[in-house]
Structure 1
Amino acid sequence: MKQHFLAFAGLILASGSFYACKSAEDTVKEAENEVFAIHDQVMPKIDDIMKLRKQLNQRITSLDSLKASGSTAATLRTDEEREQAYRLRTNLAVADSLMMDWMGRYNGDTLAKLSSDDALRYLNGQKDQITDVKTKVNTSIEQARQFLGKK
């Protein structure tokens, strides 16, 4: 048991000294790579957002036609469904806008001009922001797909 503990402790110390040998530049680059890994997961989903918005627009048009020819009971249900479609379409537009805003505000060119600590603080903030964008994009897509009956 004592040998296992010593081996584990040695491994921890060795890995700690490995991380201590990383340069501040490497640490900043790793943090930037983490931010862009999240960005790269989200960016292809912008096409999905555009397609879903188009489908929701078509559904809204269809509901408008149905309402024009329907009864009072059908009109109430149609109005509720139409409101939901509008809300989902708005959520998709907001998610798309958040992604475009984040890309427009990201300023990776200045990282080299910042101290390592400041660069890491900036990248941590950017990671939080792009993670929030990812959550909103994924949620809006999932909700729209469910509404439209797609998986």
Structure 2
Amino acid sequence: MKNIFKLFVSFCFLVFGVSCANEKVDENQVLKQEVIEIHDEVMPKMGELRSLKKSLLERVDLMEEDSLTNKEAVERMIKYADDLEEAFEGMFVWMRQFQSNFEGSEEEVHQYLIEQKVLVEKVNRDIKNSIENAKKELGS
């Protein structure tokens, strides 16, 4: 009877351990999908970044003729153009370093994906903010 109880307890620990491992794998798959979705949300905006930057710089060229009057506006537009470029580059820097098939223990993979989510969220925010600022500036 004692042996049956020990066998039962061992079996329960085994089932619990496998269950936890499967949950971590599933959690990592969900986390990986979230990272990819955050990237996919703004990747189509890469062309818009370039287009807005070009529009800002064209306006700067036109305004520099009267640079004393337009100095602040010109400086602001140059900054927004630089922000667009940095957001553009930030996406490609992130994409080059992202390892979609990162290997390690389940915990290492989990930690890696959390770090990547933080990084890609920053890329996402930078892209959205730079686009918003440029559009406001060009609209004024």
Shift of 1:76: 2.6
Counterpart of 1:77, as a letter, is T
2:113 match: secondary structure: helix
**Superposition deviation, residue 78 in structure 1:** 1.2
User: What does residue 15 of structure 2 align with?
Assistant: none
Name the CA distance, whole Å, in 2 between partners of 1:135 and 1:48.
Answer: 15
Residue type at the aligned position of 1:55: S
Moved more, 20-29 or 83-92: 20-29
Q: Which residue in the other structure is 1:77 paired with? A: 69
**1:99 match:** 91
Match of 2:52 in 1: 52
- Opposite residue 73 of structure 2, the aligned amino acid is E
Q: Cα distance, 1:108 vs. partner?
A: 1.7
2:131 maps to a residue whose letter is: I
Quote how far apart the aligned CAs of 1:140 are: 0.7
Is 1:120 the counterpart of 2:98 in the alignment?
A: no
Matched, 1:149 2:134: no
Q: CA RMSD in A?
A: 1.8
CA distance in 1, matches of 2:24, 2:75: 52
Distance 1:117 1:21, change over 3 A: closer
Aligned equivalent of 2:34: 34
Q: Which digits, 9 at most, give the CA deviation of each residue in 1:44-90, with x for residues without a partner?
A: 111110110110111011112x42xxxxxxx4331111111101000
The equivalent of 2:5 in structure 1 is none
| Helix, strand or coil at the partner of 1:103 | helix
User: What is residue 13 of structure 1 aligned with on the other side?
Assistant: none
Amino acid at match of 2:84: L
Letter in 2 for 1:79: K
Give the % identical residues: 28
Counterpart in the other structure of 1:86: 78
CA distance in 2, matches of 1:91, 1:77: 23
- Tell me the secondary structure at the aligned position of residue 26 of structure 1: helix
Gap change, CA 1:47 and 1:106, over 3 Å in 2: same
| 2-structure distance, mates of 1:55, 1:121 | 41
3-state DSSP of counterpart to 1:91: helix
1:141 Cα deviation after fit: 0.6
- C-alpha distance 26-53 of structure 1, shift in aligned 2 (>3 A): same
Aligned residues: 122
- Residues of 1 paired with 2:91 and 2:123: CA distance? 6
